[in-house]
């Protein structure tokens, strides 16, 4: 698999409409928000430097197998997060916020379900997070997701630990380098 940054495609494409058509070939029924982000928001966010999206591309046919989006984001601790967890994540038991590398989007094209595992796509995202860590020392990687048994099991099986449920109702989990 090849990893291609969306920003590099914006730089060489020359025509945004062609790139939009390429992105629109990505399809996932399991999470329409993930599909909608790539189709409707990824280019906008990329151009404005809100997020960085990486496409996982099949080497022979150039299909988008999956993708992930990263950004740096601070989170506020909810009141029920223990002082030991706060200390573990920030070094300060009284901290009210912490900075993270957020995996904002993570998705696999339905055409590749059963061929490429979600764990592989997550691993590509974590490799990029590790590069960020090497450059910036930011060592906490978070994901936010809906309370769903499959998602909880997926992230926990990949060594993420639940921190809290955010005000938005999404579960916030982390892994640390």
Report the chain (177 residues): mean pLDDT per 10 consecutive residues. Answer: 94 79 94 95 96 96 97 96 96 97 97 94 97 96 95 97 94 93
pLDDT at 12: 66
According to DSSP, the β-strands at 161-165 and 171-176 are antiparallel
pLDDT at 13: 54
pLDDT at 139: 94
Q: List strands edge to edge, sheet with 52-57.
A: 2-5, 52-57, 64-76, 97-108, 140-145, 171-176, 161-165
Domains in the chain and their CATH numbers? 2-176 (3.40.630.30)
Query: Please, is 70 exposed, middle or buried when counting C-beta atoms within 10 Å of its C-beta (0-12, 13-18, 19+)?
Result: buried
pTM: 0.93
Contact 37, 105 (CB under 8 A): yes
């Amino acid at each position: 698999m090849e990893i291609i940054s969306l920003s590099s495609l914006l730089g060489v494409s020359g025509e945004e409409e062609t790139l939009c058509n390429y992105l629109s070939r990505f399809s996932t029924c399991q999470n329409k928000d993930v599909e909608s982000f790539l189709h409707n928001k990824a280019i906008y966010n990329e151009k404005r430097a809100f997020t960085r999206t990486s496409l996982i591309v099949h080497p022979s046919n150039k299909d988008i197998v999956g993708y992930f989006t990263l950004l740096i984001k601070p989170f506020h601790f909810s009141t029920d997060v223990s002082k030991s967890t706060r200390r573990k994540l920030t070094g300060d038991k009284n901290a009210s916020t912490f900075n993270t590398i957020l995996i904002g989007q993570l998705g696999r094209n339905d055409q590749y379900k059963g061929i490429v595992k979600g764990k592989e796509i997550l691993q590509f995202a974590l490799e990029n997070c590790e590069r960020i860590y090497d450059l910036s020392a930011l060592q906490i990687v978070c994901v936010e997701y809906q309370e769903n048994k499959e998602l909880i099991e997926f992230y926990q099986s990949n060594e993420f630990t639940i921190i809290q449920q955010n005000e938005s109702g999404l579960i916030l989990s982390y892994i640390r380098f």
